[in-house]
Amino acid sequence: MLQLSIFLVAVLGFGLIAQWLAWRLRIPAILLLLVFGFGCGICFGDPGDLLGPDLLLAIVSLSVAVILFEGGLSLGLAEVRETGRVVVALVTVGIAVTWLLTAVSAAWVLGFSWPMAALVAAILVVSGPTVVVPLLRQVRPNRRIGAIVKWEGIVNDPIGAILAVIILVAISGPSSYPILSTLSSLIVFMATGAAVGALVAVLTIQLLKRYWIPDYLQNPALLTIVVTSFLVSNLIRPESGLMAVTVFGIVLANQKQVAVRHVVRFKENLRVLLISCLFVVLAARIRPASILDLGVAGGVFLGILILVVRPLAAFVSTIGSGLSFGERAFLAWIHPRGIVAAAVCSVFALELAHGPHSPTGSPADAAQVSSEDAADSEPRATSATESGHAASRIQAEAERLVPVTFLVIVGTVTVYGLTVAPLARWLKVAEANPQGVLFAGANPLVRELAEIVQREGFPVLLVDLNQQNIATARMRGLPVCWANICSEYTREELELAGIGRLLAMTPSDEVNSLAAREFIESFGRAEIYQLAHRPADVPSLEKLLTPLPGRILFEEAATFDGLSERLAEGATVKATSLTAEFDYDAFLRHYGASALVLMVISSSGRLSIVTADTTLSPQPGEKLISLVDTGDAANSSASPSAD
């Protein structure tokens, strides 16, 4: 009992440490999770021995169900309104091409029998949100290609898992299993899961819409509903539960009757915890030496998957799609495997270790022929003997199933994790460290600042509900959007390519805080900025919103009212270059104490936002964007360093 407790605490701790180190080092978290998992296996042994095979399988299955439900919650139909055909092609034609070529490679390169090669290929057609979403967050491609990759990664998980189950049944049962029967079974499995998921989603929406579930119970209730729908769908049609929970999430995310944002946030946090623990536990079940034992053949197999199989599947699926060559090439270079592949192969390895299961009997029954049967029919004895030999071979090959899968997981995550970001920038489908600014508001203060930022070469976008502000900004050549900054439309429909931060600068403290909260997921807390609240004697909701979700812009005293008053009195926003002759001290002497530095452009072209906790020390070669009074601005025109 003590050893089990220590193991569980170690898994939780190692998972958290791996995620933190990955964040600090800016590398894929899966790599570190696998390393810590291998270490756990060396220290504690096989988790199956500690937890028991049945409990381990149940934990893995339910955890994967929750992860896929959360992935479904992140899929908005509006994202693929223009490219839905590409997604459909990738999860049908793309999966078929990937499966076929991977099976051929597994048979010829790794020496698997054709039945086991087909099973290995089915497991490896999946990618999944556990690796795709972090890569997209790191790369930040344009909205169209990002949506395609995310949809493919989440939707093909249940399809690949169901395909693997059907093939497992085929190779564990009768020797002849018609292809048409396999395809029909796949359709039935998917249809069953989709129907269960949609039905459960409709019932859940009604429960929430009628307020039959109190707020404090909604998160645990939905978690219970997810795992229950997974179980019910599996009872109706084994292994259709993954499709059920994915469809459940998609329907719930795209309905407009009830709000589910709080559910999404809860599931995102739960997903990180589950992924961290699952990868450590599953990696602890294998030994790194078993992966190395695959030798050169394993490396060749991995190379074929990356350099041949994925590019062919991507280019065949996008014929006539209207995607640019760069977008198609990006699709051809992103197909990492994640937790679903690891979980499915681990489950199947345990199943196959106990021998193939035939609908007509146990493995022993299939392999043994009684003396009476042998006397009655020699062909039957021969057939049974061959079946026994096939069963023995499948059991022997099953020992290589997990090492091969983890080799592909480690290899694809490493290769794509280290190369996809620079490739995306080279293909011009993403920008490195996007410097553009999304402004909440299009008032005169924002227009003055945005015009200077745009003139300096940085993308800007102004979002406001005031039509006059929008019209004025548009006439000044600024990109604008007439919308509520806190709306779902703004989050899902705006093209934010090149945009890397939010500046909330509306007249409303509440809107600024709400906008900051909405975009934390998109930009991260470090790139969320908002104006300081007005004085506390102004009645507002601000006390309920503190501490501020965003970093305070410029300085504590720089409120919207104060800055707007200065602008109305004749102050202006301008950019000033610093030189060896006109350094920061000279700037302060020239413009006086009233000059307020808003942004700094480094000599390398990086835009930095000044905040209340920023210690300014600009150097020659940098450029300051500041708010200066009229008199100071007039004097500055004579300065050779003023732009």
Beta bridge mates, 436: 499
CB contact at 8 A, 551 and 572:
no
Please state, as a whole number, how many other Cβ atoms lie within 10 Å of the Cβ of residue 508.
17
CB distance 543 to 569 below 8 Å: no
In angstroms, the CA 193 to CA 121 distance is 22
Helix H or strand E segment including 628? strand 623-628
How would CATH label the architecture of 2-426?
Answer: Up-down Bundle (1.20)
Rounded-to-integer distance, Cα 329 and Cα 343, Å:
29
Give the helix ranges, DSSP H, for 427-518. Answer: 444-455, 467-475, 488-493, 509-518
CATH class of 569-643: alpha beta
pLDDT at 229: 93
In total, the chain counts a number of residues equal to 643
- In the three-class reduction of DSSP (H, G, I as helix; E, B as strand; rest coil), residue 574 is classed as strand
Buried b (16+ CB within 10 A) or exposed e, 79-94: bbeebeebbbbbbeeb
Q: Rounded to an integer, what distance in angstroms lies between the CA atom of residue 577 and that of residue 583?
A: 9
Looking at residue 181, its pLDDT comes to 58
DSSP-based three-state secondary structure for 607: strand
> Residue 415 carries which side chain, given as an amino acid letter?
V
Determine contact, residues 296/30, Cβ cutoff 8 Å.
no
* Residues in Cβ contact with 539 at an 8 Å cutoff, skipping those fewer than 6 apart: none
Token pair belonging to 409 = 């997981």
User: Would residue 44 be called left, alpha or beta, if left means φ above 0 and alpha means ψ between -120 and 50 degrees?
Assistant: alpha
Report in angstroms the alpha-carbon separations of 29 from 19, 48, 270, 527: 5, 24, 16, 22
What are the two backbone dihedrals, phi and then psi, of residue 539, each rounded to the nearest 5 degrees? Answer: -65, 125
Q: ω into residue 379 within 30 of 0, thus cis?
A: no
**What DSSP state is assigned to residue 270?**
H
What is residue 139's predicted lDDT score, i.e. its pLDDT?
76
Name the DSSP letter for residue 569. T
Q: Say which CATH class 433-568 falls into.
A: alpha beta
The pair of three-digit structure tokens given for residue 231, joined into one six-digit string: 């179980």
- Rounded to an integer, what distance in angstroms lies between the CA atom of residue 267 and that of residue 636? 54
Question: Can you give the pTM of this predicted structure?
Answer: 0.69
User: What is the distance between the alpha carbons of residues 466 and 472, in angstroms, rounded to a whole number?
Assistant: 10
Query: Which element (helix H / strand E) includes 7?
Result: helix 2-25
- Give dist(CA 157, CA 154) in Å, integer: 6
Joined together, the tokens standing for residue 281 give: 């536990």
Q: With 0-12 CB in 10 A as exposed, 13-18 as middle and 19+ as buried, what is 292? A: exposed
Check if the beta carbon of residue 226 is closer than 8 Å to that of residue 245: yes
Degrees (nearest 5) of the Cα angle 331, 333, 337? 100
Residues 315-329: b if buried by 16+ CB within 10 A, e if exposed: bebbeebebeebbbb
* Residue ranges, the chain, pLDDT below 50: 175-180, 356-384, 537-538, 540-545, 632-641
pLDDT of residue 51: 77
- What are residue 576's phi and psi, to 5 degrees? -130, 125
Q: What is the pLDDT of residue 232?
A: 92
**Where are the domains positioned within the chain?**
2-426, 433-568, 569-643
Q: What's the pLDDT at 392?
A: 61
Torsion from C-alpha of 510, 515, 520, 523, nearest 10 degrees: -140
Distance CA 150, CA 143 (A): 10
φ and ψ at 439, to 5 degrees?
-100, 125
Residues 339, 15: Cα–Cα separation, whole Å: 14
Place of tokens 């003396």: 371
List all residues 6 or more positions away from 382 whose beta carbon is below 8 Å from its beta carbon: none
